[in-house]
Amino acid sequence: MRATAQGREDGTRASPRVEPGRGEPITVAWLHCFAGVAGDMVLGSLLDAGADLAEVLALLQRLPLGGWSLRAEPVLRAGIAATHAVVETTDDVVVRTYAHIVGLVEEARLPDRVARRALGTFAALAEVEGRLHRRPPQQVHFHEVGSHDTVIDVVGTAAALEVLGVDDVVSSPVATGMGTVRSAHGFLPNPSPAVVRLLQGIPTWGRDLPVELTTPTGAAIVATMATSFGPLPPMRIAASGFGAGTHEIDGLPNCTEVVVGESLAVAEAPGQPVMLLEANLDDATGEVLAHAVEVLLEAGAYDAWITPIVMKKGRPAHLVSVLVDPALTEVTRATLQAETGSLGVRGVLLQRWPAARVMDQVEVDGALVQVKISPGRVKVEQRDAARAASRRGLPLREVLHRAESVWRQQEEETPPPDRTPPRFPPESPEPA
pLDDT in tens, 133-181: 667 656 565 654 447 888 999 999 999 999 999 999 999 999 999 998 8
Q: Is the pTM of this model over 0.75?
A: no
Phi and psi at 222, nearest 5°, equal -65, -45
- Residue 148's pLDDT is what? 80
Comparing 50-59, 257-266, 302-311, which segment has the lowest mean pLDDT? 257-266
CB 15 within 8 A of CB 175: no
Separation between Cα atoms, residue 223 and residue 126, nearest integer Å? 13
Q: Is the dihedral of CA 271, 272, 273, 279 positive or negative?
A: negative
Separation between Cα atoms, residue 15 and residue 113, nearest integer Å? 9
Separation between Cα atoms, residue 21 and residue 73, nearest integer Å? 42
CB 402 within 8 A of CB 395: no
Separation between Cα atoms, residue 11 and residue 429, nearest integer Å? 56
Reference 158, options 196, 207, 120; nearest CA is: 120
CB 340 within 8 A of CB 306: no
Separation between Cα atoms, residue 15 and residue 258, nearest integer Å? 18
| CATH match for 272-352 among 3.30.470.20, 3.30.565.10, 3.40.50.620, 3.30.70.1380 | 3.30.70.1380
Separation between Cα atoms, residue 392 and residue 180, nearest integer Å? 85
- Residue 351's pLDDT is what? 84
Read off the pLDDT of residues 268-326 as tens digits, 9 standing for 90 and up: 456 788 999 999 999 899 999 999 999 999 988 999 999 999 988 888 999 999 999 88
- Residue 19's pLDDT is what? 36
420, pLDDT greater than 80? no
Separation between Cα atoms, residue 73 and residue 261, nearest integer Å? 24
**310: Cβ contacts below 8 Å, ≥ 6 apart:** 316, 317
- Residue 358's pLDDT is what? 75
Separation between Cα atoms, residue 205 and residue 173, nearest integer Å? 7
Residue ranges covered by each domain of the chain: 27-263, 272-352, 358-413
110, pLDDT greater than 90? yes
20, pLDDT greater than 60? no
Q: Which residue has the higher pLDDT, 373 or 33?
A: 33
Segment (H or E) for 405: helix 396-413
Q: pLDDT > 90: what percent of the chain? A: 53
Q: Which residue has the higher pLDDT, 426 or 272?
A: 272
Q: How confident is the model at residue 36 (pLDDT cuts 50, 70, 90)?
A: very high
- Residue 25's pLDDT is what? 74
Distances (CA, A) of 28 to 35, 201, 392: 21, 22, 61
14, pLDDT greater than 60? no
- Residue 369's pLDDT is what? 83
Strand blocks (E) in 267-422: 272-281, 303-310, 316-324, 346-352, 358-364, 367-374, 377-380
The predicted model gives 360-388 an average pLDDT of: 81
Read off the pLDDT of residues 317-360 as tens digits, 9 standing for 90 and up: 999 999 998 888 999 999 999 999 998 999 998 888 777 677 78
Separation between Cα atoms, residue 305 and residue 275, nearest integer Å? 14
Q: How confident is the model at residue 424 (pLDDT cuts 50, 70, 90)?
A: very low
Phi and psi at 92, nearest 5°, equal -85, -10
Q: Look up residue 339 and give its amino acid.
A: E
- Residue 217's pLDDT is what? 94
Q: How confident is the model at residue 15 (pLDDT cuts 50, 70, 90)?
A: very low
Separation between Cα atoms, residue 126 and residue 130, nearest integer Å? 6
Cis peptide before 316 (omega within 30 of 0): no
Give me the torsion for CA of 221, 114, 43, 107, rounded to 10°: -100
Give the orientation angle of helix 98-107 with respect to helix 148-163, to 10 degrees: 40
Q: How confident is the model at residue 422 (pLDDT cuts 50, 70, 90)?
A: very low
Q: How confident is the model at residue 218 (pLDDT cuts 50, 70, 90)?
A: very high
Q: Which residue has the higher pLDDT, 141 or 53?
A: 53
Average pLDDT, the chain: 84
The conformational region for residue 358 under phi > 0 = left, psi -120 to 50 = alpha, else beta, is: beta
Distances (CA, A) of 216 to 77, 147, 206, 223: 22, 13, 15, 10
CB 319 within 8 A of CB 278: yes
The conformational region for residue 79 under phi > 0 = left, psi -120 to 50 = alpha, else beta, is: left
Q: How confident is the model at residue 380 (pLDDT cuts 50, 70, 90)?
A: confident
Overall residue count recorded for the chain in this entry:
432
